[in-house]
Every structure is written in structure tokens, then in C-alpha cells.
């Protein structure tokens, strides 16, 4: 027991020392990058959306098509090897938009192609996007259920 306590004390002392020398992320710079890049991607999205609306599409159809175009752009720039370079600087600015969701699908699919098309591309495609779909759908289900019960 005393051995446990001694180890715990050691860990706490070390953690304290570690926190003192821990480099802080350059918060202001990161926030500016995230804001500008995230804002820019959304502006492109707005532009695409307006274009589809101007073709006379319905609101929902236009939104869906705009999403598809953004997903295409995210996938394409991941394939070219540009999106991860952007992500290094932009952080959440390029992760949070739907283009980042596309990046999270293409990156592992491409990376694990060497393990074959079934266990590589097919299986690994959703290592990061899978949880997003799972928890998104489960939440939507719960919200839907509550909505139905209250009707």
C-alpha cells in the first residue's frame, strides 16, 4: 500500500514539473487560422448553394447538392495531398467543415489501400467518419423518438 502511495506522489510531482515546461499551443494564431479557413470554406459552400438555387433548384435539393460538391472538393484535395498541409495550419478550420469529414474518409481509405480493397479501403474508410455517423444517427433517433412521444 505504501508503495502505491509513494508511486502516486512521484507521479503527481512529475506531472507538476511537466506542466511547468509544457509548451502551450499558439492559441491566438490557431484561432485566427481556424476562423479564416473555416469561414472561407463556408463561403465557398454558400457560393455553391447560391449557384444551385439560381438554377431553380428547391432549397433542400440545392443544399444536398452543395454538400455533395463540398465533399467532392474535400476528397479531391485530400487525394492531391494538399488537405493535410492545410490542416496542419488551419486545425479545426479544415476539420470541422464537411470537407474535413470527406478528408477523414479519404485519408484512411487511401492509406490502407495497401492492405487491399476489402480490409483496407472498404474497412478502414470509416475509422474516423464511422463514429460521426453512428453518434449522429443515434442522437437523431433519440431526438426523433422524443418528438414522436410528445406528439
Q: Footprint of another protein on residues 7-66 (CB under 8 A)?
A: 10-11, 14-15, 17-18, 21-27, 30-31, 33-43, 45-50, 63-66
Q: Is 6 in the site for another protein (CB under 8 A)?
A: no
Distance CA 25, CA 23 (A): 7
CA angle 52–56–57, rounded 5-degree value: 60
Site string (99-138) toward another protein, x via CB under 8 A: xxxxxxxxxxxxxxxx------x--xx--xx-xxx-xxx-
75-104: which residues touch another protein (CB under 8 A)?
A: 75-76, 78-81, 83-104
Tell me which DSSP letter residue 96 carries: S
Nearer to another protein, 6 or 56 (CB): 6
Number of residues this chain uses to bind another protein (CB under 8 A):
100
The H or E element that residue 75 is part of is: helix 59-79
Residue 6's alpha-carbon distances to 3, 10, 12, 16, in angstroms, are 5, 6, 10, 15
Amino acid at each position: 500500500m505504501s508503495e502505491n502511495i509513494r508511486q502516486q506522489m512521484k507521479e503527481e510531482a512529475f506531472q507538476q514539473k511537466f506542466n511547468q515546461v509544457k509548451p502551450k499551443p499558439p492559441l491566438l494564431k490557431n484561432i485566427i487560422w481556424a476562423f479564416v479557413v473555416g469561414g472561407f470554406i463556408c463561403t465557398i459552400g454558400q457560393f455553391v448553394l447560391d449557384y444551385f438555387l439560381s438554377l431553380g433548384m428547391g432549397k433542400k435539393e440545392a443544399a444536398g447538392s452543395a454538400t455533395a460538391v463540398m465533399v467532392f472538393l474535400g476528397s479531391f484535395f485530400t487525394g492531391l495531398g494538399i488537405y493535410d498541409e492545410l490542416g496542419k495550419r488551419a486545425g479545426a478550420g479544415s476539420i470541422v467543415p464537411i470537407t474535413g469529414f470527406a478528408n477523414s474518409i479519404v485519408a484512411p481509405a487511401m492509406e490502407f489501400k495497401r492492405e487491399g480493397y476489402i480490409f483496407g479501403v472498404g474497412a478502414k474508410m470509416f475509422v474516423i467518419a464511422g463514429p460521426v455517423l453512428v453518434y449522429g444517427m443515434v442522437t437523431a433517433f433519440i431526438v426523433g423518438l422524443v418528438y414522436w412521444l410528445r406528439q
